Homo-oligomer: A and B are copies of this chain.
Amino acid sequence: MLSNSAALDEKDISFSISDLAREFGVTTRAIRFYEDEGLLSPGRSGRQRVYTSRDHVRLKLIVRGKRLGFSLSEVREIIEMYDLDSGESGQLRYFLEQIKKRREALKQQRHDIELTLDELDSIESECKHRLSALS
């Protein structure tokens, strides 16, 4: 079964702390900090941290969340949505609520971005207009 062995392979990928730091453009200090905050949970080989592909995914979510201006605790909430370990219906309904709120916030952000992009456009053309008037 090819796909199965490929899946196994993927699970077996591991990363050092500097691998991750390089790939995502964050410092090792930050990565350890995220661990302190419970966002990452690497294994150990001796004293050295060994990160799995699960950590890799989580770190990707962290940096993306940061780019969107989310705090680490907001990022934590988002990450927790990805681990749907609970099958209880109350929990599931709660999650659906959270998802709804996140989506609304993200759409607000997207709207803010559109507004800002439009304004940048008009500032830019004003700028270019003045430039051409100078020559």
A residues contacting B by CB (< 8 A) are 64, 67-70, 78, 81-82, 84, 87, 89, 92-93, 95-96, 99, 102-103, 106-110, 112-113, 115-117, 119-120, 123-124, 126-128, 130-131, 134
Cβ–Cβ contact B106 & A117, under 8 A: yes
Q: With CB as the reference atom, state the residue of chain B lying closest to A116.
A: B106
Which among B68, B108, B120 is the interface contact of A112 at CB below 8 angstroms?
B68
Taking chain A's interface residues, is the majority helix, strand, or loop, or is none over half, making it mixed? helix
Cβ–Cβ contact B81 & A102, under 8 A: no
Which among B92, B127, B134 is the interface contact of A84 at CB below 8 angstroms?
B127
* Given A110-B110, A116-B106: A134 in contact with B64 (beta carbons within 8 A): no
Interchain residue pairs A-B with the least CB separation, the first 8: A69-B69, A92-B131, A99-B124, A64-B112, A89-B134, A106-B113, A110-B113, A99-B120
* Given A70-B69, A108-B67, A112-B64: A117 in contact with B131 (beta carbons within 8 A): no
A95 to B117, CA, bound (A): 15
Q: With CB as the reference atom, state the residue of chain B lying closest to A63.
A: B112
A78 to B93, CA, bound (A): 40
* Given A92-B130, A109-B109, A110-B110: A64 in contact with B99 (beta carbons within 8 A): no
Q: With CB as the reference atom, state the residue of chain B lying closest to A108.
A: B67
